[in-house]
Amino acid sequence: MDNFSEGAFSNPQDAGFQTILFNGNVNDKSALLLIKHVQEAIRESKKGVWVGIKSSGGMSGAARFVYDYLSSIEFPAISHAIDVFSEGTNLAAAFPHRSIALTGKIGFHQAALNLPGGSFHEGILSDLLQQVMGHNRAMLDHLMLSIGLPEETIRPWIYNGAVFVGEEAVKAGAVMRTVRPFHPRPLDHKILDATE
């Protein structure tokens, strides 16, 4: 497992990792800011990064920036899911090493059409349906690549809107372990607030 001990999951600060707390929407701006924080950790000779994530979603595909960047470098990176959903789940899955809080939630979301009654132009409905199908497919492709599980395992998570809590996420294969991390120096956290 890269070049760090298991202690990086339970006490990342003492293991020499930069701790980052990500709160809010995953979009191009917040994904690039997170990458910037990782680059700073590398320049500061940290042993790796540990990112606690609380995100209910964001812009489809934004987490892929983080995955592509982390895949292109050799630097230990851990995501810790506190409460993630939709694109927040994709962000947590973008990291090569993943944990979840003991009562943390990781949720998958099916983009769906909920239309009020009325007449709709066929072309508009077709465009909307293509967007929904594209979103679901993009999430499925990202999770298969980042988590490494087959489509037949992940597809029901997305199309049924599954939510796993704590150990359920480990059993499903979405994360590697549950952990209650200890942070002896909370003032050393970098805060990435993307709640705008």
Give the mean pLDDT of the chain.
86
Helix axes 63-72, 122-147, angle to 10 degrees: 30
Q: What are phi and psi of 135, to 5 degrees?
A: -65, -50
Domains and CATH numbers, the chain: 16-194 (3.90.226.10)
State the residue for tokens 């980042």: 146
pLDDT digits (tens, 9 = 90+) for 27-68: 999 999 999 999 999 999 999 999 999 998 888 889 999 999
Q: How far apart are the first and last CA of the chain?
A: 36
pLDDT digits (tens, 9 = 90+) for 121-136: 566 555 555 556 667 7
